[in-house]
Amino acid sequence: MPATRLDDIDRKILAELQADGRMTNVELARRVGISAPPCLRRVRTLEEMGYIRGYHADVDPRELGFEVQVFAMVGLQSQAEVDLSAFEERCNGWPLVRECHMLNGEVDFILKCVAPDLSTFQSFLTGQLTAADNVASVKTSLVIRGSKDEPGVPFDVLEDRLSKSA
């Protein structure tokens, strides 16, 4: 369902929960300007409709000993749908792969990987990723540091677009 079918309150609920998914329903209702029972009903509806996919903690990998973060650009030998799906399924089984995105352009997939150290990542790279069926090439880039990691969508941009189309 397009965002234009959501009303102002629904979008405010989504924006507030995106910023702080741990707030109580009472606090959420206060922030969006409605009472708690209809707020909870709206949240449940947004969950059922797929706007809210889940709730999770933003865990710091380095605090847990995952010192290495790598982006791997993967080229496949075949881009037939069955081969693309097989690669995606294989990525789902690799714990070091935290994100997998199919791309348009020079590479077929970009993977975000984390590992406790470089040798663990290298073992994964040579023993599993490059050895996987249909993998033709892998180029990796080690992350030196991150400067931005925002979840979700920019609700201010959404609201601006909606106000211009109204």
Burial class (CB in 10 A: 0-12, 13-18, 19+), 23: middle
Tens-digit pLDDT profile for residues 49-87: 999 999 999 999 999 999 999 999 999 999 999 999 999
Please state the φ and ψ torsions of residue 108, each to the nearest 5 degrees. -90, -35
CA dihedral of residues 126, 131, 135, 139 (deg, nearest 10): 0
CA dihedral sign of residues 159, 162, 164, 166: negative
What's the pLDDT band for 2 if we cut at 50, 70, 90? low
Structure tokens at 44: 């449940």
Q: Express each pLDDT in 112-133 by its tens digit.
A: 999 999 999 999 999 999 999 9
Average of per-residue pLDDT across 98-125 = 97
Q: What pLDDT sits at residue 48?
A: 96
Query: Tens digits of per-residue pLDDT, 20-52?
Result: 999 999 999 999 999 999 999 999 999 999 999
For the entire predicted model, the pTM comes to: 0.86
Cα radius of gyration rounded to whole Å, the chain: 20
CA–CA separation, 4 vs 42, rounded Å?
16
- Residues β-bridged to residue 74: 109, 138
